[in-house]
Chain A
Amino acid sequence: MVDPFEFIHYWQLAGWQKFVRVFWFFFLFEFTRYVLIDYLVLIFYYFKRKVNKSDWDDARTALHLEQPLVSVIVPGKNEGKHLFKLVKSLAEQTYQHLELIVVDDGSDDQTALIGRDLERNGLINLFLSNKVRGGKASGANAALSYAKGKYIVHLDADCSFDRTAVEEVLLPFYYDPKIGAVGGNLEVRNHQESIATTLQAIEYLKVILTGRMVTSTLGIYRIISGAFGAFRADILHRLGGWDIGPGLDGDITVKIRKLGYRVYFQPSAHGLTSVPNTFQKLAKQRLRWDKSIIRFRVRKHKDIFYPNEQFRFSNFFSSLENIGYNVIMNIKWFIYLVDIVVNFGGLIKFILPMNILLYTAANFVQFSAIILIVQKPEEKRRLMLYLPLMVFYTGYFLRIVRTMAHIKELFFLASYKDPWNPYKSSRMAKQLGI
């Protein structure tokens, strides 16, 4: 360990110029994006929300006057154990003109029995049981085939929702007719289970703020989580529903944007989800997610960058930002690492602690903003104790997983081999180059 006095002394002598030179990566990218832009957008968001408050009230009145049928669709495999809780959570909703369609995608447990029973008792409107697994997209599409609602709310069975969640997620459609899809706000339910879940809870909160509110406000919100999202049914039908995953959530969002619709994040539509409780399981999940970025952004939807008639700057930036902050940023970070090792190799013992200090400080500043906007902030304060660990979590763990995913997908097309999709679908998709 470095002697703290020596450490302070070193940085005192080094001066600002050297400080910025060593931490150019932080100042150029991370501070700008995660702290500066956050605060600016946050102020803008609340300002706008306040100014437009009467419009939002009108939207609520319009929703309740129209009372459209809303189809809640829940595709999944072996989700039977969650169904009863989900049904209860939906029964409590303030918006009640719902039909619930559950798709059992080739489950090999009790799901079919449980679902059938709930259907028979009128708690599920339609329970579709596919004997053979078809993958997440086909499950959602099966539900879509039979959905009668004007809006489709896509949920994961293992999530639970605030009483107002469905009502809130529908409001944007009545606020702005150009909005075609709305993302709901999911927080981590099991945040106290392990260090892994605690760090993910912090990550989710950060994502809500930077990844969703900021991008939504800037008009470049790019991925509506399948765990909780709402869609205009006419648009989904026009698109023929979801294409095969993984990454189908991002894919459908891009397709909706391509049609010229806006995509909106609704922080007040609030639900809880369970996250992987070990780093191992987490790594597996993230490998899958990160591979999809290459597959769908870079490969399938590269036309977004082409100057054709469908070209829109917001779409362009949405994808660019996504690719930029994921793929390119990752590469740059390694450049940075090389830069530091080559040019300041002997100073690692001073740089590393400073690095941690800097990022933790930035995390605290950012988290303060989060505390301002989340529900039940007093519960969230506990998470602040773990902020120093976030440097390792986002800075190293996630980055390494992401890099592995990108390399695998870019050079080996690994996602087509992913057991997450049935082999028959993956083979087809690979042949067709999607």
Chain B
Amino acid sequence: MQLNTPIKSITTLHGSRERILNIESEGYVFAYITDRFDGEANAFEEYDGVIILPTSPVLLKEVLHRFRSANSWTARLMPLFLHQQMELEYMHRQLVDGIVHQLDELYGAVSQIKIIKDHISGSRLRTFPTYEKDTIYKLLVYLLSREQKTLKAYIDRNSSTGYTYPILESLMNGKTPYRLMEFAVGEGLFTTQFQDSVYTCNSCEDGFLMYREACPKCHNTYLSSQDLIHHFACAHIGPERNFQRENNDLICPKCDKALKHIGIDYDKPAVMHHCNTCHHEFQSFQIVATCCSCHKTTAVEHLLKREILTYHLTDKAHTQVEAGSDFNHQPVQENAIPGAVSEAAFYLNMQYELMKSGKQKVLMGMIRWEPFDRILEKIGRQEYHLLQVNISDQVRSSLQSIDFLCVLDNCILFSCLHTSTELAYRVVERTVFLLSHLMKDNLGQDITFEGACLQLQGQQDVKTIVLEKLKEASW
């Protein structure tokens, strides 16, 4: 190709095999690299834009990701262009700012850069100590600088749920963005629109699942099926194999008559399936899905259903980025239970109450449930977390507002402050009763609750006493 371009200079980056061509247009300096470039994105601080020559989709994705996940604002917000004749692939639309057909015709790219720079200068580029806030803020600045008002999900076989938001994937280094986006929506920064729904593994949220029929009893997939035959004359019903004789005749095992004409002397009212592993006979399969990532096999009704949404930026996002203002809420930590304190905070608080009370007793309650590992195995981590939240809510509702609680794996600890021993015991007893009834019905599976009341006094170490109690097999 004959290049009629004002190549300014050639830079060799330290540690990179790739050399950078510098191109200038209307006073803006572009770096020209191929997607084989394996250096740091931060090395382009001096440039106004980067033009990439794609050679392979994998390498291109890799290099785009390196820019958009970079630490510095400049690299992350760097205007990126692809040097190609084709249209932009939809996957790249969120990450790339345009196409350059010829290197000597860069006015399109330049005007794009002007717009981006304009938007960036109108934004406050600040950071937040919380990961969630910081990531959302980066996302907002990026989207606004590109005038991208909508954030769409694209089908991608490399994404764990089957869908990806390329910019979020880069910003979050491949972590699933759903909880984060929930937070952003809660902040009023985006409105949502339904796009699709997908099923994911209930333990690792992966969307690559293999579906097939299984025995409802032992979940094995080695099955065979057979018709059920009803002989009208004697009302006998049984599987076809009991009627079959060597010469292909159908003979009723009850009355020894030959079955000749379907609909006249016999019919086949149903199909029965047979499990070749445990020999269970059944009519309705269980459809199971095996997760390709964690290899867990789950009944489909326990899979997670996730809505894939398209997000639309709101005006609030605009004002927040202009002012660089803080978010209204604290993001919910993953697996945090609303209204509950951490285990460490619980012990600390209890210890403090104990110290304050002097010689007086301080009461606390504990309620635990079993068989938590089997329940967890069956319903998955997400549902189990909801169960914990439910239990916590139930306990909360029977406590006073000054009381605090914390949720462990299969146990909930709570203070019973300023109350009599008798009353505390009653609270525990009643809550155990309520939980037993509510949860069993909700869960559709056996769950048993037991409760205990601890009386603490003086210099005792709360944590030691609680752990001691937890070791007891039954309360």
Residues of A within 8 A of B (CB): 106, 116, 119-121, 126-132, 134-135, 137-139, 141-142, 145-146, 240-244, 424-425, 427-429, 432
Contact of B270 among A129, A242, A425 (CB under 8 A): A129
Contacts of A432 in B (CB 8 A): 233
Which A residues are CB-close (under 8 A) to B301? 120
Known contacts A134-B235, A138-B235; is A127 also within 8 Å of B283 by CB?
yes
A126–B282 touching, CB < 8 Å:
yes
B18 within 8 A of A: no
Given contacts A145-B237, A240-B234, contact A119 B254 (CB under 8 A): no
Whether the Cβ atoms of A425 and B232 lie closer than 8 Å is yes
State whether B254 touches A120 (Cβ < 8 A).
no
CB-based contact A121/B444 at 8 Å? yes
B145 to chain A, nearest CB (A): 52
Q: Is the CB of B284 within 8 A of A127?
A: yes
Tell me the bound Cα distance from A116 to B270 in angstroms: 14
Contact across chains for B269 and A106 when beta carbons are under 8 A apart = yes
**B235 and A132 contacting across the interface, CB-CB below 8 Å:** no
Given contacts A127-B283, A429-B233, 12 further A-B contacts (CB under 8 A): A120-B301, A121-B444, A128-B228, A131-B269, A134-B230, A135-B235, A138-B269, A141-B237, A240-B234, A240-B236, A241-B236, A244-B235
Judge whether A134 and B265 touch: CB under 8 Å.
Answer: no
Does B177 sit within 8 A of A, measured CB to CB?
no
In the bound complex, what is the Cα–Cα distance between A275 and B286 (angstroms)? Answer: 38
Residues of A with C-beta under 8 A to B230 = 130, 134, 138, 142
Which residues of the partner chain B approach A139 to less than 8 Å between Cβ atoms?
237
Task: Tell me whether A128 and B239 are in contact in the complex, defined as CB-CB below 8 angstroms, given that A116-B284, A240-B255 are known contacts.
Answer: no
Q: How distant is the Cα of A87 from the Cα of B255 in the complex, in angstroms?
A: 34
Question: In the complex, which residues of chain B have a beta carbon less than 8 angstroms from the beta carbon of A240?
Answer: 234, 236, 253-255
User: In the complex, what residues of A have CB within 8 A of residue B232's CB?
Assistant: 134, 244, 424-425, 427-428
Query: Once the chains are docked, how many angstroms separate the CA of A425 from the CA of B254?
Result: 16
A145 x B254 contact (CB < 8 A): no
Give 27 pairs: A residue, B residue, CB < 8 Å, sorted on A.
A116-B284, A120-B216, A128-B270, A132-B269, A134-B232, A135-B235, A138-B230, A138-B235, A138-B236, A138-B237, A139-B237, A141-B237, A142-B228, A145-B242, A240-B236, A240-B255, A241-B235, A241-B254, A243-B234, A243-B235, A244-B233, A424-B263, A424-B264, A424-B267, A427-B232, A429-B233, A432-B233
Name the contact of A120 in the complex, choosing from B267, B272, B284 (C-beta under 8 A): B284
Closest chain-A Cβ to B310's Cβ sits at a distance in Å of 35
Residues of chain A contacted by B233 (CB below 8 angstroms):
244, 428-429, 432
Contact A145 B239 (CB under 8 A): yes
Cα distance A423–B242 in the bound complex, in angstroms? 25
Task: Check A146 against B281 for contact (C-beta < 8 Å).
Answer: yes
| CB pair B270 A130 closer than 8 Å | yes
Interface residues, chain B, CB within 8 Å of chain A?
A: 216, 228, 230, 232-239, 242, 253-255, 263-265, 267, 269-270, 272, 281-284, 286, 301, 444-445
Q: With A126-B281, A240-B254, A428-B265 in contact, do A141 and B235 touch (Cβ < 8 Å)?
A: yes
Chain A residues with CB below 8 A from B445, complex form:
121
How many Å from the CB of B458 to the closest CB on chain A? Answer: 48
| CB nearest to B255 among chain A residues | A240
What is the CA–CA distance of A129 and B272 in the complex, to the nearest angstrom?
Answer: 10
A405 to B111, CA, bound (A): 99
Residues of B within 8 A of A142 (CB): 228, 230, 237-238
Give the shortest distance, in Å, between A133 (CB) and chain B (any CB).
8
Shortest A208–chain B CB gap in Å is: 29
Q: Complex: how many Å from CA A219 to CA B38?
A: 97
Residues of B within 8 A of A106 (CB): 269
A residues in contact with B216, CB < 8 Å: 119-120
Closest B residue by C-beta to A133 = B269
Least CB distance, A44 to chain B, in whole angstroms:
38
Residue of B nearest to A425 (CB): B232
The closest CB in chain B to the CB of A432 belongs to B233
A244 to B237, CA, bound (A): 12
Cβ of B236 to closest chain A Cβ, rounded Å? 6
- How close is B222's CB to chain A, nearest CB, in angstroms? 19
Q: Say yes or no: B269 contacts A425, CB within 8 Å.
A: no
- In the bound complex, how far is the Cα of B301 from the Cα of A134, in angstroms? 32
A290 to chain B, nearest CB (A): 22
CA of A127 to CA of B254, assembled, Å:
23
Q: How far is the CA of A105 from the CA of B1 in the complex (A)?
A: 79
Question: How far does the alpha carbon of A425 sit from the alpha carbon of B264 in the complex, in Å?
Answer: 9
Complex CA gap A139/B228 in Å reads 12
Q: Which residue of chain A lies nearest to B286 when distances are taken between CB atoms in the complex?
A: A120
Q: Write the nearest CB–CB distance from B260 to chain A, whole angstroms.
A: 12
Q: Which residue on chain B has the smallest CB distance to residue A136?
A: B235
Roughly how many angstroms separate A126 CA and B228 CA in the complex, as a whole number? 15
List the 10 shortest-distance A-B pairs measured between CB atoms, nearest first. Answer: A240-B254, A130-B269, A137-B235, A142-B237, A428-B232, A145-B238, A138-B235, A428-B233, A244-B235, A141-B237
A120–B233 Cα distance when bound, in Å, is: 33
Is the pair B239, A129 in contact by a Cβ cutoff of 8 Å? Answer: no
Chain B residue nearest to A429 in the complex (CB)? B233
Task: For the complex, give the distance between the alpha carbons of A137 and B230 in Å.
Answer: 11
Which of B216, B234, B253 has the most chain A CB atoms inside 10 A of its CB? B234
Residue among A119, A130, A139, A429 having the largest count of chain B Cβ atoms under 10 Å: A130
Partner of B283, one of A128, A132, A427, A428: A128
What is the CB-to-nearest-CB distance from B162 to chain A, in angstroms, rounded to a whole number? 27
Q: Which residue of A has the minimal Cβ distance to B282?
A: A126
Cross-chain contact B269 with A141 (CB below 8 angstroms): no
* Min distance, Cβ B226 to any Cβ of chain A, angstroms: 12
Tell me the nearest residue of chain A to B270, going by C-beta. Answer: A130
The reply to whether B237 and A134 form a contact with Cβ atoms under 8 Å apart is yes
Would you give the shortest CB distance from B275 to chain A, in whole angstroms?
Answer: 12
A81 nearest CB across to chain B (Å): 19
**B237 x A132 contact (CB < 8 A):** no
| A130 and B228 contact, CB distance less than 8 A | yes
Let me know if A141 and B236 touch, CB within 8 A: yes
**A242 contacts B269, C-beta separation under 8 Å:** no
Q: Which residues of A contact B254 (CB under 8 A)?
A: 240-241
> Is the Cβ of A129 less than 8 Å from the Cβ of B236?
no
Docked pose: A432 CA to B235 CA in angstroms:
13
Please give, as numbers and ranges, the residues of chain A lying within 8 Å of B269 by CB-CB distance: 106, 130-132, 134, 138
Residues in B whose Cβ lies below 8 Å from that of A428: 232-233, 265
Contacts of A137 in B (CB 8 A): 235
B237 partner residues in chain A, CB cutoff 8 A: 130, 134, 138-139, 141-142, 145
Given the complex of chains A and B, what is the CA–CA distance between A116 and B255 in angstroms? 32
**Distance in Å: Cβ of A68 to nearest Cβ of chain B:** 20
B265 (CB) vs chain A CBs: closest residue: A428
User: Which one of A129, A132, A145 contacts B267 once the chains associate, using CB atoms below 8 Å?
Assistant: A132
Contact, CB under 8 Å: A242 / B284: no
Residue numbers in B under 8 Å from A131 (CB-CB): 269-270
A130-B228, A131-B269 known; A425+B444 contact, CB < 8 A: no
Complex CA gap A243/B253 in Å reads 14
B contact residues around A141 at 8 Å (CB): 235-238
Distance of A120 from chain B, by nearest CB (Å)? 7
For the complex, what is the distance from the CA of A119 to the CA of B284, rounded to whole Å? 9
Complex contacts, B284 vs chain A, CB 8 Å: 116, 119-120, 127
* Assembly CA distance A132 to B227 (angstroms): 13
Query: Complex formed: what's the CA distance from A146 to B275 in Å?
Result: 14
In the bound assembly, the distance between CA atoms of A142 and B242 in angstroms comes to 13
Contact residues in B for A424 (Cβ distance below 8 Å): 232, 263-264, 267
Shortest distance from the beta carbon of A127 to any chain B beta carbon, whole Å:
7
Cα A116 to Cα B236 with chains together (Å):
23
Whole-angstrom CA separation of A424 from B263 in the bound complex: 8
